[in-house]
Structure formats: C-alpha cells, structure tokens
Amino acid sequence: MSKLLNHINSPKELRQLNQDDLPQLAQELRDFIINIVATKEGHLGASLGVVELTIALHYVFNTPKDLLIWDVGHQAYGHKILTERKDVFNTNRQLNGISGFPKRDENMYDTFGVGHSSTSISAALGMAIASKLKGENKQHIAVIGDASIASGMAFEGLNHAGVTDANILIILNDNAIGIDPSVGALKQYLTNVKKGTQKQDNIFEALNFNYSGPIDGHNINTLVTELERLKTIKGPKLLHVITKKGKGLKQAEEDQVKYHAPGKFNATTGDLILKEPSKFTKYQDVFGHTLVELAKENKHIIGITPAMPTGSSLKYMMSVFPDRAFDVGIAEQHAVTLAAGMATQGLIPFCNIYSTFLQRAYDQVIHDVALQKLPVVFCLDRAGIVGEDGATHHGVFDLAYLRCIPNLIIFAPRNDVELRNIMHTAQLGLKLPIAIRYPRGYGVIVDWKQPFTKIGIGKGVQLKKGKNIAVLSLGTIANNVTNAIKDLDVSHYDMKFLKPIDEHLLHQIFKRYQTIFTVEDGTIKGGLGSEVLEFASKNNYTNTIKILGIPDKFIDHGKVRELQEYTGLDSKSIKNTITNEL
C-alpha cells in the first residue's frame, strides 16, 4: 500500500515530507512505476534508475519556478507521477492519454518538450540566460544521461555554458548505458573518473564547470545534501551521479537492454510476458540478417549505427564482423559524415538511422553525401507512424525532406523481400546515395529469405488491374491499399522509388485513368503526392489527383492501427475514400 505516495500529487506536497520519509517514498514510487508499466508498457529501466534523483530534485528545488529539464525524457515517469499526473499515469503513451515524454502543453512542470536526446543543456542554458535578462532569480537544472551527453549537441551546449555565468546545474546521470552499453572515449573517461583515477584532469572542470561527484544516485540523503549545497553556488555546475538502470527490479538490473522498454511483464516477478511468437520477422531483423549475409560476400560493406545496435539489429553484424560494424553513440551527424568518408575510399557503408533521428543530420546528408555523389546506403528504420512514442518519433517527414535533395535515390520496399533485394542492389555498386525507408514492426512475408534479385532503379510496378481509378502507393502502406481495394474495380501501382520516379509508368497511368490517388505514410506536403502533382503540372495533365497521407499537423501517440485510422490510412478508411470517388 502506498502510504506516502497516496497523499502526494505535486512537489509542493512532497516538500512537506520529512527527509527521513523520502526513502520510503522512493520505494512506493518505484512500485507504482513498475505496476503500471508492467501492463501498459513503456520505458522502464531509465525511470527506475532515477527515482531517488527525481524525488531529491523536486524536494530541494522550488519547481516549477525553478526549471527542471529532462534529456530525452524517457526517464521522466517519476517526475510525471509527482507532478500532478499520478491519476492519469495509467494512460501513459495511449491514444488520448498522457505522453511518454515531457511535453510543455501537458503540464507546467514539463519545461521543455523532448523525445530526441541531448537537447537539455542548450535548453537549460537558454532558459538561464533568459532568466538573467529578465532579472529573475531561478535555478535551471538539466538531467542528462551518459550516452546523451556524448552527443555533439550536448558538447555544443557545454562549450557555450562554460564561458557564461549562467546559473545552470547539469546532472550527469551516469549508468554506463544508453539503450545499449555506452561507447566511446568519453565512456572510458567516465569509467576512469568513477575508479578515481582521473580526478585531476577533469574534463568538465577544464570547460569551466564547477564539478562535483561522483556520488551515489540511489542514496537520497547524499543527493539532497549535495543539491542543497549546489543551490548556493552560482554559475555553471555539473554534478556527476552514479545510478543503476533498472534499479529495484532484479531482471531490469540484470538485462538492462531488454528492460529499457520491455513490453508487458509480471509486476511481482519481473518476468516478461512473452507474446505468441509471430510467423513474420521484424523489418529490422530482415535488415540485420541480410546485411550479415551480404557482408560475408562483399568485404567492402560496413555497418554504422548511432546508438541503436539493438533497435536497428545492426548488432548481428557487430557480432560477426566487429571490425566492420560501428556503434558511434548518439551521433547522427557524425554517423552520416563517417559514412561519407568511408564511401570516398571505396567502402560501401550501410548507415542505419531511425527516420526521425536522421532529421539531426540533414546537412550532412546534403553537404557531405548527396552533393558529392557518395554512394552511402541509408537504411531508415521506423519510417512512417511508429505508435506509442508519438509525435517526437514518427518517421513521417523523411519522404518530404529527402525528395528535394538532388542525386539521392529514395526507395521504400513493399515487403521483406524487397528490402533484401534493394540492399543487395545497393551493394552491387550504385553511383549515387540511396535512402531505403521501412517501418517499425513486422514484415509480411514468412519465407523472406529468398535468393537475391536485382531491382531496376526507378521502376514501379502494377499490382492490380482495374478500371476507373488508379491508386499509386509507396512502401509498405501498399498492403493497406491491397486490402482496401480487393473488392473494387481499380488499379494499384507500387511506385517503389520516390526518386527517380517512374515517369514512363506515370505517363501510362495519366493517359489511362482520369482519377488518381496517391497513398503514403509520410506527410502529404512534400512526398509522393507532391511528386505526382509536379509531374502532372510539368506535363500539362489535368487529371484529378487525390493525396492520402499524414496531414499537416503533429500526430500524437497511440497504437499504429489507431493512428492509421486517425489519419485515414487504414484499409477501411482508404476503401471509403476511394469508393466515394467511384
């Protein structure tokens, strides 16, 4: 029974507790998180690891007047529960429920919207400078993990903050792991600091931060004492806190990768509740296994992931070819330019980045890859609607933001076999970069491991013959279209390549059908529909063109099926929309 937590709905109430009660509250908060995430699913390990830190921060600082900024925000469940959302926490990440990440318009304690990493230092510094200019006396506290602080953006923030007198406290939450174990020289440095071997050469002190720690992030009294002390010190400060990801749930501590976001589990035993195994394979695994297969035959193939070896399944290549597969940490910009450098030397880099995270490396794609016609193979996982992670993570912008880049080939496989075959085609020696985008979740072909065949660049295909209307789709959304039109007398074309689009096929289509639908799981503005409209305009076609895709607004969280319904991209909605035109 939650004796203390029952009575706490806001930090104001928390601050009325005796400090002696805080360990008990920590236990209750941890249990509360475990009980709800066990059935509702979500990010678990990171929030369990910062329970004491969350309580200590809200206990010591005067939130929401003092500004608390969480990096990534997947560790902020305790913060949400303590800041007026205990009663709705069971709606976390569900359609119309609260977001799994801090979100400014959800609650005043959420000072900065997050989901992508490494923004907290810049945001906190911006707030601190604003407070100073406005003559306000506040504290600004950024909580950032050891993997997120290694990103270029975090370093940019540190570099700036170190030459200001901004009243900013950075809490480095060091658990030595991101989603997968942290990597790089900074990780080695932090390990040495924890061993007590490198205190004299403190990197943060060298950047003008008042450094303290490392301290035990699970000792709430130590945390409170140190935070109280730091509250009195002006200027940029960094507190190094050591925590354990998954703290308090044995399995989560022991298998930190799995329990980052474990799905459903038994709240009492911690054991995972295993789903009925699917006969299908996840696209990420089709990618991961196919890359190993190809790399065995082609020694020029290299794999690159910025901090997502498990999520992208590059881990398979990392274990078979450790010298040819690189986890570079949360460093999307570096990942792209690293790939570009390799490509100048004749290597064939497969740079796997979630669609949403490639947004971080847009200039690198243009300036370092496309402009120089370097044949980097971008594998963009999690394209389209991703589901419960919501607006920060949907991979719906890539078609629009990539289509305008010269020299870039853009391909979206309709199924597992096409993903394999385009990977095979790409390593045969393209003269240009290619972006291959595919969704989160399972493929549609059980027997996907078929012999490779080469895909003709820029060629679309007709999937169904009918009269009246032509439906043009791109990528796996074709499967919804196939279902939608099975009883309708309409034609269906899979365009496969957004760029170069199959103009020969488009001429045939425009001559044969008066009404043309385009369907894509990317933004209506800028993707397949826009390409087809531009084609029509260029060639003076006056056919009716209807574009189905993601509307011009941010789509919140929910199940993929629910969000497809919401955006009109599920089979039933597509069917209704097309039927209205027949």
Ligand X SMILES: CC(=O)[C@@H](O)[C@H](O)COP(=O)(O)O
Which positions are catalytic?
245, 332, 360
Choosing among Mg ion, ligand TPP, ligand X, none, which partner's interface includes residue 382 (Cβ < 5 to 8 Å by kind)?
Answer: ligand X
Annotated binding residue at 122? no
Among Mg ion, ligand TPP, ligand X, none, partner that 75 touches (CB below 5 to 8 angstroms by kind): ligand TPP
- Is residue 343 a known part of a binding site? no
- Taking the complex as a whole, the smallest distance from the CB of residue 173 to Mg ion amounts, in Å, to 6
Question: Is 382 among the residues that bind ligand X (CB under 6 A)?
Answer: yes
The Cα 256–Cα 246 span in angstroms is 6
CB of 192 to ligand TPP, least distance (A): 17
* Chain residue whose CB lies nearest Mg ion: 145
Q: Which does 148 bind (CB under 5 to 8 A by kind): ligand TPP, ligand X, Mg ion, none?
A: ligand TPP
For the residues of 267-328, what is the DSSP string, one character each?
TTT--B-PPPPPSS-BHHHHHHHHHHHHHHH-TTEEEEESS-HHHHSTHHHHHH-TTTEEE-
Name the minimum Å distance from CB 266 to ligand X. 21
End-to-end Cα spacing for the chain: 60
Q: Is 175 in the site for Mg ion (CB under 5 A)?
A: yes
Q: Does 311 bind ligand X (CB under 6 A)?
A: yes
Question: Residue 254, annotated ligand binder?
Answer: no
Q: 577 in helix, strand or coil?
A: helix
Tell me which stretch binds ligand X (CB under 6 A): 250-258, 293-301, 382-390, 534-542. Answer: 382-390
Q: How far is the CB of 246 from ligand TPP (least distance, A)?
A: 10
For residue 394, the partner it binds in Mg ion, ligand TPP, ligand X, none, with Cβ less than 5 to 8 A by kind, is none
Q: Is 147 annotated as a binding residue?
A: yes
- Strand arrangement of the beta sheet that strand 491-494 belongs to: 461-464, 491-494, 469-473, 515-523, 544-550
Q: Rank residues 115 and 157 by Cβ distance to ligand X and give the closer one.
A: 115
User: If binding is defined by CB under 5 A, does position 119 make contact with Mg ion?
Assistant: no
| Residues paired with 380 in a beta bridge | 353, 437
User: Which are the contacts of 345, defined by CB distance < 8 A and separation ≥ 6?
Assistant: none
Closest distance of CB 392 from ligand TPP, Å: 8
* 150 versus 353: smaller Cβ distance to Mg ion: 150
Q: Is 384 annotated as a binding residue?
A: no
Query: Nearest distance from residue 277's CB to ligand TPP, in Å?
Result: 26
Greatest CA separation found in the chain? 79
User: Under rule CB under 6 A, which residues in 150-209 are in contact with ligand X?
Assistant: 179
SS3 category, 515? strand
- Any contact of residue 394 with ligand X (CB under 6 A)? no
| Helix segments in 73-151, DSSP class H | 77-80, 120-134
CB 490 within 8 Å of CB 470: yes
Residue 247, judged by CB atoms within 10 A of its CB (0-12, 13-18, 19+), counts as buried
Binding of ligand TPP at residue 148 (CB under 6 A)? yes
Of the candidates 8, 44, 72, 516, which one interacts with ligand X according to CB under 6 A? 72
CA neighbor of 19 nearest in space, from 242, 225, 303, 295: 225
Q: Which stretch binds ligand TPP (CB under 6 A): 15-23, 71-79, 156-164, 365-373?
A: 71-79
Beta bridge partners, 497, equal 411
Question: Using CB distances below 5 to 8 A depending on partner kind, what does residue 261 bind out of ligand TPP, Mg ion, ligand X, none?
Answer: ligand X
Q: Which does 389 bind (CB under 5 to 8 A by kind): ligand X, ligand TPP, Mg ion, none?
A: ligand X
Which are the contacts of 307, defined by CB distance < 8 A and separation ≥ 6? Answer: 147, 178, 179, 180, 183, 327, 328, 329, 330, 331
Say if residues 190 and 243 touch (Cβ distance below 8 Å): no
Q: How many residues bind ligand X (CB under 6 A)?
A: 10
Q: Which stretch binds ligand TPP (CB under 6 A): 145-153, 266-274, 401-409, 428-436?
A: 145-153
C-alpha closest to that of 435 among 463, 473, 401:
401
Which 258-317 positions form the footprint of ligand TPP (CB under 6 A)?
307
Is residue 73 a contact residue for Mg ion (CB under 5 A)?
Answer: no
How many of the chain's residues bind ligand TPP (CB under 6 A)?
A: 20
Contacting residue, 58, 74, 240, 575, with ligand TPP by CB under 6 A: 74
Cβ neighbour number for residue 558 with a 10 Å cutoff? 20
Rounded to whole angstroms, how far apart are CA atoms 191 and 461?
54
Instruction: Indicate whether 330 belongs to the interface with ligand TPP (CB under 6 A).
Output: yes
CA atoms within 13 A on the CB side of 32: 27
41 binds ligand X (CB under 6 A): no
Can you tell me whether residue 516 is helix, strand or coil?
A: strand
Q: How many CB atoms lie within 10 A of CB 411?
A: 24
Q: Is residue 358 within 8 Å of 331, Cβ to Cβ?
A: no
User: DSSP letter at 177?
Assistant: B
Between CA 416 and CA 96 the distance in angstroms is 32
Residues that bind ligand TPP (CB under 6 A): 46, 72, 74-75, 116-117, 145-148, 173, 175, 177-179, 245, 307, 330, 357, 360
What residue numbers does the annotated binding site for thiamine diphosphate cover? 74, 115-117, 147-148, 175, 332
Q: Which residues are annotated as a binding site?
A: 74, 115-117, 146-148, 175, 332
Numbered residues of the known binding site for Mg(2+): 146, 175
- Footprint of ligand X on this chain (CB under 6 A)? 43, 72, 74, 179, 261, 311, 382, 386, 389, 440
